[in-house]
Amino acid sequence: MDRDLAARYGVPYVHLAAFTIDVDRVREADPAEQTLPMGWEVALTERYLARFIQGEPSDARLEVLEECCMGILGLTRGDDPLGSQLPFAVFCGISHGVLPAQLHGCLERWKSPPVDLAAELASWRSEPATQARIIQHCMGSQLQPPLSPPTLACLSGWSTVPKS
């Protein structure tokens, strides 16, 4: 979590950071390689981002995503912080039409964007059963500290709705 971004953007940034960090913590603790599809953490983050911008994206929400992506992509290889799936989720969200194409500029540092990942996620990301398994996997994690309250509230809301 970036202190300057938290001061500038407040609660929306803090909830975004908490969600991406929590999902990445679950992936690191138990990647569920045998039971969940590759890139599940990216797909779940993409779903959060669609909710984050809620239809008509505000300039502030798009600025948060741009600054977060540029910060993550500017890190030295091997310095991947928790939540570093965010740029992948932004790229996939743009590819799947759930995020505006204007966000593409913040991904320019990528020499080879994850086109194959976006195609893979497109094949199953709208399957309600797969989405439910991913959500249950996260909610059932035994992390210490546990998932943040905003992350739990988001996942709980999704667990009652088959698809965003």
Long-range contacts of 115-121 (CB under 8 A, 24+ apart): 117/38, 117/39, 117/42, 117/88, 117/91, 117/92, 118/91, 118/92, 120/37, 120/38, 120/39, 121/39, 121/42, 121/43, 121/46, 121/92, 121/96
Assess whether pLDDT exceeds 50 at residue 162: no
Averaged pLDDT for residues 54-77: 83
Tell me the pLDDT band of 163, cut-offs 50, 70 and 90.
very low
Q: Tell me the domain boundaries of the chain.
A: 3-159
Could you read off the pLDDT of 32-41 as tens digits, one per residue? Answer: 667 888 899 9
Beta-strand ranges (E) seen in 81-161 are: none
In 104-143, which ranges are continuous DSSP H helix?
115-124, 128-139
Q: Is the pLDDT of residue 42 over 90?
A: yes
